[in-house]
Amino acid sequence: MNIAVLGATGRTGRLVLREATERGHQVIALARNGASLIEDGVIVHEGDVRDLDAVTRVVEGAGAVISAVGARGRDSNLHTLLAQHTATAMRTSGVTRFVGISVGGLDVPGDQKGLRDRVIGALARTLAGKASEDRKREYEIWRDSELRWTLVRVPRLTDGETNTAPVISVETPPRGITLHRAALAGLLVDCATSAKFIDQAPFAANN
């Protein structure tokens, strides 16, 4: 499968590239600095995710899109803009499958969060301010689209290799407070190449 990867130069994005290419997929990556991304089996397009034309070039011809884009300082509407551009590019190109990353503090209909998780989520949203609203708008864009989307809600991400599969739940956050980036990368590729968690925002965390 051809997989378009946004946010390919970040710590999670690089692991997504490796995971996808090791599974035999052709990866088309968008990077602001193409010279910083030299990987076997990866076609690199230079550009920024805030540029609709750049996103469209990468998405065209893909079977699925994975976004590993993280926060960028004061760019408080980044994920809203990313969702708008990616959804538009996918419709233009006839691509239907999207998988991205969100935050554990995001609330969606059907959640069964306990008191601990509700308190932590409320605190996180207060501290995040506009970034929290950005994540909410991102979710709403995908929810209201006709596309086949998945947003994986994650806790604090950590580096390091792991052979342990993450705990995944659609309604109730796992007890783990961290998630290995390598495990997340594997999950993102799993979802992009299957019908797992279509139109859902599952939680994932270390066991």
**pLDDT surpassing 70 at residue 143:** yes
Average pLDDT in the 133-149 region? 97
Query: If DSSP codes are grouped into helix, strand and coil, which group holds residue 177?
Result: coil
What's residue 155's pLDDT?
Answer: 95
**pLDDT surpassing 70 at residue 167:** yes
Q: Give the residue, 34 or 84, on which the prediction is more confident.
A: 84
What's residue 38's pLDDT?
Answer: 75
Sign, CA torsion 122/126/128/129: positive
Q: What CA–CA distance (Å, rounded) separates 63 from 66?
A: 10
**pLDDT surpassing 60 at residue 169:** yes
What's residue 202's pLDDT?
Answer: 99
What's residue 163's pLDDT?
Answer: 80
Local confidence band at 96 (pLDDT 50, 70, 90 cut-offs):
very high
What's residue 74's pLDDT?
Answer: 60
Residue-wise pLDDT for 49-90, tens only, equals: 999 999 999 999 999 999 999 876 566 899 999 999 999 999
**pLDDT surpassing 70 at residue 176:** yes
**pLDDT surpassing 90 at residue 124:** no
What are residue 104's phi and psi, to 5 degrees? -65, -25
Q: What CA–CA distance (Å, rounded) separates 66 from 56?
A: 13
Alpha carbon distances (Å) from 92 to 4, 76, 196, 207: 15, 26, 24, 40
What's residue 161's pLDDT?
Answer: 79
**pLDDT surpassing 90 at residue 16:** yes
| Residue percentage of the chain with pLDDT more than 90 | 78
Identity of the amino acid at 163:
N
Domains of the chain: 2-205 (3.40.50.720)
Least confident of 41-45, 85-89, 197-201: 41-45
